[in-house]
């Protein structure tokens, strides 16, 4: 099947051909005709299957006739993150270049004033994150009662980020007669409830088993020590042992993203961090340089795990195994896209075993175990290593030989005895000597 058979107009087809696409993916082949008919669509597909074009192409075709009014967008697309919203905007510019459609992007980290100016002129396509959209709505800068097509993308990610109450509110602000296109990689109960409440007799399209991984990705796990220094060393050894054209390294915490990126740079790797606390301009600049090949290794939080379309990523490394099994599917979906092959490796310490078990149960597959040169499977360094203060507490006063005269009772002795066995909050593991000196209150101020 080709795009010519899906019912798209010549202007859209020309833009698709100019972008180098001739054959639609399975979800595109099934979703586009139904969307062109004006029906609600419920699309369930794993990441990297071309969901974005499944709603952008029919939207452009349907919006090609008509005109937007000030502050009343004709269509609305909700995305969970700024990066995804910006990427969808790029898709509209690519596929809608032969149409006279106006577009506005409402995301955080960008001036309200510039966004308001676009809304005042009227936009055909409004792409937004839930928080920034509601900010504009509460200021009276945008009205949603003119929305004809409403898209909710990466719905399960919206759930993870706590956006479901915002989604429900936004749905109620749009007309009941709207067309709703709903896309998600997985279908937990909360998402199922949302679809039953806001979709009307939708066409259900499921092109892959929920939470399945792409067959073109080679997956493996390596047992590593949990001590951060040794774990970073293991990652560097693993990267050096593979033919890495470019790769994304995922961490669970934003602070670890920055630390790991600096460590890799220090050891001669071309790496840069990407996480939610960075300024939006820096985030977009970093993504652009990674796409262009100026950056080889992108160290990221899960902000880069969903939907980012960087087609030719050769490797994904999970420096931290994700605590939610579904996130594993999305992370490794950054490689092996569009039929290409890819490799995904996860570093797992002994305390991460339960997360690995959950992942293997979710994807119904046992992951291959590998060893890293110079490291065995034993996690002994973290089991036997103890701090010097802990050792002191274990030995305690019994191991010290006390002079006879030190055993004589003193006025400060009871206080010292009370603090030897446990640390004092805010003062470390001991009480400064000046605090142990006995004090006498003047008779005039005596509490007796």
**DSSP calls for 386-398:** --HHHHHHHHTGG
Residue 327 has a pLDDT of 84
Which CATH code of 1.10.730.10, 3.40.50.300, 2.60.130.10, 3.40.50.920 fits the domain covering 3-206? Answer: 3.40.50.300
Q: Where in the chain is the domain with CATH 3.40.50.300?
A: 3-206, 217-383
Confidence (pLDDT) at 423: 54
Helix (H, G, I), strand (E, B) or coil at 41: strand
Query: What's the pLDDT score for residue 279?
Result: 81
CA dihedral 297, 298, 304, 307 (to 10 degrees): -40
The number of C-alpha atoms within 13 Å of 119 and in the hemisphere containing its C-beta is: 23
Beta carbons within 8 Å of 409's beta carbon, 6+ residues apart: none
CB-CB contact of 269 with 297 (8 Å): yes
Please, which residues have CB within 8 angstroms of residue 333's CB and are 6 or more apart in sequence? 46, 47, 48, 213, 214, 217
Reading the chain (448 residues) residue by residue, the pLDDT tens digits are 899 999 999 999 999 999 888 899 899 999 999 999 999 999 988 766 788 999 999 999 999 988 888 999 999 999 998 888 988 999 999 999 999 999 999 998 788 999 999 999 999 999 999 999 999 999 999 999 999 999 999 898 898 888 999 999 999 999 999 999 999 887 888 899 999 999 999 999 988 665 667 788 999 999 999 899 999 999 999 999 999 999 999 999 888 999 999 999 999 999 999 887 888 788 888 988 998 999 999 999 887 666 566 778 999 999 999 988 888 988 888 888 767 889 999 999 999 999 999 999 988 889 999 998 766 444 433 333 444 444 444 444 444 444 444 444 444 444 444 444 555 555 556 667 777 777 766 665 544 4
137, 144 Cβ separation under 8 angstroms: yes
Q: What is the pLDDT of residue 263?
A: 96
Q: Which CATH superfamily is domain 217-383 in?
A: P-loop containing nucleotide triphosphate hydrolases (3.40.50.300)
- Contact predicate 334/248, CB 8 Å: yes
- Give me 256's structure tokens: 């670890």
Cβ neighbours of 394 (radius 10 Å): 10
* Contact between residue 272 and residue 343 where contact means Cβ atoms under 8 Å apart: no
In three-state secondary structure terms, 439 is: coil
Q: Which residue has the tokens 């969808």?
A: 88
What tokens appear for 396 in the block?
A: 């305690």
Question: Which among 278, 236, 237 has a CA at the least distance from the CA of 257?
Answer: 278
CA distance 176 to 416: 73
Which pLDDT score, from 0 to 100, does residue 269 have?
Answer: 96
H or E segment at 155? helix 155-160
Compute φ and ψ for 24, nearest 5 degrees. -75, 155
């Amino acid at each position: 099947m080709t795009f010519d058979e899906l019912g798209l107009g010549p202007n859209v087809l020309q833009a698709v051909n100019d972008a180098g696409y001739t054959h639609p993916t399975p979800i595109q082949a099934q979703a586009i005709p139904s969307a062109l008919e004006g029906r609600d669509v419920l699309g369930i597909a794993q990441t990297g299957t071309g969901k974005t074009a499944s709603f952008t192409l029919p939207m452009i075709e349907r919006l090609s006739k008509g005109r937007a009014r000030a502050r009343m967008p004709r269509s609305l697309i909700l995305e969970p993150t700024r990066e995804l919203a910006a990427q969808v905007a790029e898709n509209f510019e690519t596929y809608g270049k032969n149409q006279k459609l106006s577009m506005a992007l409402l995301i955080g980290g960008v001036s309200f004033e510039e966004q308001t100016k676009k809304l005042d002129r009227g936009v055909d396509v409004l792409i937004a994150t839930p928080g920034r959209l509601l900010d504009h709505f509460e200021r009276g800068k945008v009205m949603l009662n003119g929305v004809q097509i409403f898209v909710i993308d990466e719905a399960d990610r919206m759930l993870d980020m706590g956006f479901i109450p915002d989604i429900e509110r936004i749905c109620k602000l749009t007309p009941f007669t709207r067309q709703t296109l709903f896309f998600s990689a997985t279908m937990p109960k909360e998402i199922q409830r949302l679809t039953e409440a806001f979709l009307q007799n939708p066409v259900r399209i499921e092109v892959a088993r929920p939470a399945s991984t792409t067959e073109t990705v080679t997956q493996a796990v390596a047992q590593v020590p949990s001590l951060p220094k040794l774990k970073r060393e293991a990652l560097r050894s693993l990267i050096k042992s593979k033919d890495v054209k470019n790769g994304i390294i995922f961490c669970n915490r934003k602070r670890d993203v920055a630390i790991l990126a600096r460590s890799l740079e220090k050891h001669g790797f071309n790496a840069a961090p990407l996480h939610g606390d960075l300024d939006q301009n820096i985030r977009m600049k970093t993504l652009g340089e990674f796409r262009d090949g100026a950056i080889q290794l992108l160290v990221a939080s899960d902000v880069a795990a969903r939907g980012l379309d960087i087609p030719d990523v050769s490797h994904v490394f999970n420096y931290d195994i994700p605590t939610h099994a579904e996130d594993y599917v999305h992370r490794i979906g950054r490689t092996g896209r569009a039929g290409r092959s890819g490799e995904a490796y996860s570093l797992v310490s002994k305390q991460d075993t339960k997360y690995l078990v959950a992942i293997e149960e979710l994807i119904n597959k046992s992951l291959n175990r590998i060893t890293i040169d110079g490291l065995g499977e034993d996690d002994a360094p973290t089991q036997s290593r103890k701090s010097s203060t802990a050792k002191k507490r274990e030995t305690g006063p019994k191991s010290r030989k006390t002079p006879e005269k030190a055993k004589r009772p003193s006025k400060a002795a009871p206080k010292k005895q009370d603090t030897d066995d446990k640390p004092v909050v805010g003062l470390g593991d001991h009480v400064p000597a000046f605090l142990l000196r006995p004090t006498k209150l003047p008779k005039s101020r005596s509490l007796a």
